[in-house]
Amino acid sequence: MTLLDPRVRRLPVPARRHRPRAVVLGWAVAAVVVAAHVVAWNATEVSFGALVDGWRGMAEFLAEAIPPDLAWDVLGPSLEGALVTLWIGLLGTTLSVPLSLAGALLAARGTAPAWAYQPARWLLSFLRAVPDVVFALVFVTAVGLGPFPGVLAIVCHNVGVMGKLWAEALEDADPGPPQALRSAGAGRIQVAAHALLPTVTPQFVGLLLYRFDVNVRSSLVLGLVGAGGIGFLINQSIQLFQFDEMLTHILVVLVLIVAVDQLSALVRRLLGSAA
């Protein structure tokens, strides 16, 4: 008897059920999203017509900025400012590592005492919610202008961000080794040191390199509020209407960012090959 035998009984295909609630919910979500975009469009005063009408101003700006001023009295301070920006991002990242690790251990469910879990997460949320520019303004008023308040601002904000990321990495780690150590009578510190941290170290390093990349860019912005670095030179050039010098500083920033990206990629490849 073949499959085409008329004696074979064909079962009816059940009708597809329509779920009106899901359809209504989908349309409701779509309507909310569209309404939110309409409100955002009006609130931000988006106007492509104004952008087209302002082409003359943009053309005059570019005409004054091009070509960049590559004289050594401009390029030399620009390179020095770029190095200062790099050092701000580097120190802000590395100095935040101990505090970020402590915050991550206190904000992860598997390693935090019950009394410290929520306060640690609230503290990390606060440090993450306050922009680094605000921290820079506070520290500029406290210690004066220069790179040091930029380093402090990066440290404070980076502890909140990196502590949160590292805490999530600890919570997502393989629960097998920690449970084995706990069953053997190990304490929280022993479990973290011998089971959790060795497992998540590659993730920690990857997140640290990512934050270093972000912090170098952030230190550029911090220079605009007096925290030193090449951002301060860019702000000074704009205030003095020296747009050709500004373009020189921006090109130096571009070279710096590309170099940092390449360095981070190289470190990741070396860590991957070593693993």
Q: How confident is the model at residue 36 (pLDDT cuts 50, 70, 90)?
A: very high
100 vs 268, more confident: 100
Mean pLDDT in residue range 225-243: 84
Mean predicted lDDT score pLDDT of the chain = 81
Determine the pLDDT at residue 10.
Answer: 62
Write down the pTM of the prediction: 0.77
Is 185:62 a contact under the CB 8 Å cutoff?
A: no
Could you read off the pLDDT of 62-121 as tens digits, one per residue? 777 788 878 888 888 889 888 999 999 999 999 999 999 888 888 888 777 778 888 989
Fold of 69-274: MetI-like fold (1.10.3720)
Q: What is the pLDDT of residues 141-198, one digit of tens each?
A: 888 888 898 899 999 999 999 999 888 888 777 666 666 666 666 666 766 666 677 7
Residue 132: name the closest of 224, 208, 209 by CA.
224
Radius of gyration of the CA atoms of the chain, in A: 27
146 Cβ neighbours under 8 A, 6+ residues apart: 226, 227, 228
